[in-house]
Amino acid sequence: MSRIYNFSAGPSMLPLEVLEKAGAGITDYAGSGMSVMEMSHRSKVFDEIIVNTKALFREVLGIPEDYDVLFMQGGATAQFAAVAMNLLSGKGAADYVISGNFSNNAYKEALLFGKDIRVAGTTKDENFTRIPRQDELTLNPGADYVHICENNTIYGTKWQYVPDTGGVPLVADMSSCILSEPVDVSKYGIIYAGVQKNIAPAGMALVVIRKDLLRDPIPGTPTILNYKTTAEKDSMYNTPPCWTIFISMLVLEWIKDLGGLPEMQRRNREKAALLYDYLDSTDFYVAPNLPADRSLMNVTFRTQSEELDAKFAKESAADGMSNLKGHRSVGGMRASIYNAMPKEGVEHLVAFMKEFEKNNG
């Protein structure tokens, strides 16, 4: 069976080269006589893997020395609670900008732990079709942190600027845009990301944290969610997700060999332009988001009716493309075109869209 073009929002497709490398060593990695899935996380072989993976994250993302790199289980959803538990002080104050589903979930989680959790801005009344502007944000200068979701997987929008928080640490969920383009890590207090979209199989979150924020969390914080303990134990307080870390290493090597994040950005802009340019040229499909805030990773659109949307999803699957149906909360279609999606996949989608319009317009 030939491989299809997988447009899933996550878990998403991985580079074929990475899959082939992983497959080649799945029964005997590096002469160890076992798979990475079988070996002890305390072994010399795995120690080399996790040390190399952290070093590659530092190199590829350009992470400064005053930041730590943590590998934590539970995905980004666990980080909704971990951020609040680790950063809230006695004031219990934090600002959340709600620009979609996951930033709203993070806000609701923080309400469980904070005394003064505020919505600093939202575009909910516009169905999250754009990102709030800086002058629309009402920020609390006494907050412990400000939280944003940098790329909105469900709604297909992306922050194109880093908000000015007046010195309050900025926390960003970058789950669906991590490693897609260069980022100035120094502008953030914490960057976290579920790895299942642009890095590796599901089950882990990458946390990049400024070291001065590694402090004692609020009372009652589970040790497994304690950033300070995780850093002190080199992300091995308990058995880490070894296979996920291994695949992360292979993906980072793949990105580095291609030219790093500048090359990823060039490729992603090229792919997104193919799709957005076509959407802007036709009235058959509707792309709801403000063009200035469009995501490079998740492109949302719809036809003129729910019936046609359903037909599109069915026929596109028969044409070798999967997971183009939009999230159940918004409907329509969504093409997730992460780093591993080749340009040919987007070209195939656009050709299908043109034929579908011709047959149904």
Please tell me the predicted confidence (pLDDT) of residue 328. 86
Compute the chain's Rg from CA coordinates.
21
**C-alpha distances in Å from residue 26, one per residue of 37, 39, 323:** 8, 11, 28
Residue 290 confidence (pLDDT) above 90: yes
Specify the CATH number of the domain 260-360. Answer: 3.90.1150.10
| Angle (nearest 5°) at CA 55 between 53 and 57 | 70
**C-alpha distances in Å from residue 256, one per residue of 252, 262, 265:** 6, 10, 13
Residue 180 in tokens: 């897609």
Residue 1 confidence (pLDDT) above 70: no
Task: Quickly count helices (H) and strands (E) in the chain.
Answer: 9, 13
The string of DSSP codes covering 15-82 is -HHHHHHHHHTSSSGGGSSS-TTTS-TTSHHHHHHHHHHHHHHHHHHT--TTEEEEEEESHHHHHHHH
Average pLDDT over residues 122-146: 97
The string of DSSP codes covering 91-159 is T-EEEEEE-SHHHHHHHHHHTTT-SEEEEEEE-GGGTT-SPPPGGG----TT-S-EEEESEETTTTEE-
Residue 294 confidence (pLDDT) above 60: yes
Give residue 90's pLDDT band: very low, low, confident or very high (50, 70, 90): confident
The rounded distance, in Å, linking the Cα atoms of 312 and 332 is 9
Q: At residue 182, what is the residue type?
A: P
- Of 251, 147, 149, which is closest to residue 196 (Cα–Cα)? 251
pLDDT in tens, 234-246: 999 999 999 999 9
Check: CB of residue 173 under 8 Å from CB of residue 197: no
**C-alpha distances in Å from residue 76, one per residue of 34, 100, 193:** 30, 15, 6
Q: Is the dihedral of CA 120, 121, 124, 127 positive or negative?
A: negative
pLDDT in tens, 190-211: 999 999 999 999 999 999 999 9
pTM of the model: 0.96
16-257 CATH fold: Aspartate Aminotransferase; domain 2 (3.40.640)
Please tell me the predicted confidence (pLDDT) of residue 80. 98
Domains in the chain: boundaries:
16-257, 260-360
- Provide CB contacts within 8 A for 180, sequence distance 6+: 198, 261, 264, 265, 268, 296, 297, 338, 339
Give residue 329's pLDDT band: very low, low, confident or very high (50, 70, 90): confident
**C-alpha distances in Å from residue 50, one per residue of 53, 70, 248, 255:** 5, 11, 10, 17
The rounded distance, in Å, linking the Cα atoms of 280 and 259 is 31
Q: Over pLDDT 90: what percentage of the chain?
A: 95
Please tell me the predicted confidence (pLDDT) of residue 40. 87
